[in-house]
């Protein structure tokens, strides 16, 4: 009978999750034993071929949800120290993030709930945060970006990578906090859209265009933030700079004293942050130009969806470049 083994497996996973939860809340069992036990369950859950099943099939979706809930049970039960110091996140984070891009709403929502639970239990975020998953991704940004870069270089072995990348940016609100870190995997994704590679990787084109669109949105947001901060500093400098000082000493004393009182941090800190923002702005301009150069040709794609996504990304690139020019003038 179709779906019988999935339903049977789901029942067993749910039972195991309940047993695991009961054992973890018991106070009389040695933690070392609990950690070893959960490590074995975790290994079975994340290595399962179930992750490759079509989640649009209701029986497959139920099994996937049960396994993801099991990961949440382990994270919640063993707590902050286990989540942060063990191999839990390196094992569970990637498959859970991947499911944020599923077509099945139930699977997507379960993945989001489990990731939110892990973020809060691991003290990466609080329940009051707008995007606990985003905080989790940002705090583990080096691992996530390294994983994405490696997978993009071997798309034949990791065919879901474009979907995973798109899900990470679209569902976590992490892009703006990771603009600099994401530059390398974005560059790798652009290579698959180049004229010499796009036919080979055409199945990934839409997802990678979604990635570039979200990244371009993040760049626009960051450039706007830099413009606002730059205008604030420039305004303070212009306000307190004497037009006709009697001497260099008067200029220095008046300017430094009054400027220091108006800034949110000391002058040296302001200078350092201005330099950092200028460097970030420069790197974002370079990334924007690379995106524009690569996806401009897709504006003539025979696929209407690809054309639309490419056009949106190009529009965002032009918007970011315009704002960057404004920031540099200020």
SS3 sequence, 155-170?
Answer: CCCCCCHHHHHHHHHH
Q: Which long-range contacts (CB under 8 A, 24 or more apart) does 265-271 make?
A: 270/233
- What is the dihedral sign for C-alpha 277, 282, 288, 291? negative
Q: Note the pLDDT of residue 265.
A: 63
How does pLDDT run across 96-148, given as a tens digit for each residue? 998 988 889 999 999 999 999 999 999 998 877 778 999 999 999 999 999 89
State residue 59's pLDDT score: 94
pLDDT at 253: 57
The answer to whether the beta carbons of residues 277 and 176 sit under 8 Å apart is no
Rounded to two decimals, what is the model's pTM?
0.81
d(CA 288, CA 293): 9
Collapsing DSSP to helix, strand or coil, 129 comes out as coil
Kindly tell me if the per-residue pLDDT of 1 is higher than 60.
Answer: no
- CA distance linking residue 7 with residue 62, whole number of Å: 8
pLDDT at 138: 92
Q: How far apart are CA 170 and CA 206, in angstroms?
A: 14
Model pLDDT, residue 260: 57
For the chain, state the CA radius of gyration: 25
Quick: pLDDT tens for 56-85: 999 999 999 999 999 999 999 999 999 999
Write out the two tokens for 247.
């001497």
pLDDT tens-digit series, residues 211-226? 999 999 999 998 888 8
Q: What is the pLDDT of residues 229-274, one digit of tens each?
A: 777 766 666 555 555 555 455 556 555 555 555 555 666 777 787 7
CB 241 within 8 A of CB 255: yes
> Around Cβ 223, how many Cβ atoms within 10 Å?
26
H or E, element range at 223? helix 205-240
CA atoms of 79 and 64, how far apart (whole Å): 23
174 DSSP assignment: -
Torsion, Cα 119 125 130 132, to 10 degrees, reads -10
Q: In whole angstroms, how far apart are CA 187 and each of 106, 197, 210, 214, 298?
A: 32, 13, 14, 14, 16
Contact 152, 188 (CB under 8 A): yes
* Residue that wins the pLDDT comparison between 196 and 37: 37
């Amino acid at each position: 009978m179709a779906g019988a083994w999935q339903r049977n497996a789901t029942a067993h996973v749910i039972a195991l999750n309940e047993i695991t939860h009961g054992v973890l809340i018991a106070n009389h069992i040695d933690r070392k034993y609990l950690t070893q036990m959960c490590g074995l369950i975790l290994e079975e859950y994340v290595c399962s071929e179930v992750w490759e099943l079509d989640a649009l099939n209701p029986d497959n979706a139920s099994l996937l949800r049960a396994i993801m809930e099991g990961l949440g049970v382990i994270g919640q039960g063993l707590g902050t120290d286990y989540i942060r110091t063990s191999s839990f996140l390196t094992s569970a984070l990637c498959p859970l993030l991947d499911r944020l891009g599923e077509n099945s709403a139930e699977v997507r929502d379960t993945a989001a709930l489990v990731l939110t639970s892990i973020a809060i239990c691991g003290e990466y975020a609080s329940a009051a945060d707008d995007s606990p998953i985003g905080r989790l991704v940002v705090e583990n940004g080096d691992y996530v970006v390294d994983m994405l870069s490696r997978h993009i270089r071997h798309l034949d072995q990791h065919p879901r990578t474009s979907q995973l990348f798109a899900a990470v940016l679209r569902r976590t609100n992490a892009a703006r906090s990771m603009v600099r870190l994401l530059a390398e995997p974005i560059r790798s994704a652009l290579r698959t859209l180049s004229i010499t590679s796009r036919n080979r990787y055409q199945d990934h084109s839409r997802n990678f265009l979604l990635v570039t669109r979200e990244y371009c949105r993040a760049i626009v947001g960051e450039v706007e933030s830099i413009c606002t901060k730059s205008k604030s500093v420039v305004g303070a400098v212009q306000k307190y700079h004497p037009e006709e000082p009697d001497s260099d000493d008067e200029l220095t004393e008046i300017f430094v004293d009054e400027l220091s009182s108006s800034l949110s941090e000391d002058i040296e800190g302001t200078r350092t942050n201005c330099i950092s923002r200028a460097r970030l702005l420069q790197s974002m301009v370079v990334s924007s130009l690379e995106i524009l150069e690569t996806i401009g040709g897709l504006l003539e794609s025979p696929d209407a969806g690809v054309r639309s996504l490419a056009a949106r990304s190009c529009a965002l690139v032009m918007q970011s470049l315009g704002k960057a020019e404004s920031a540099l003038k200020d």
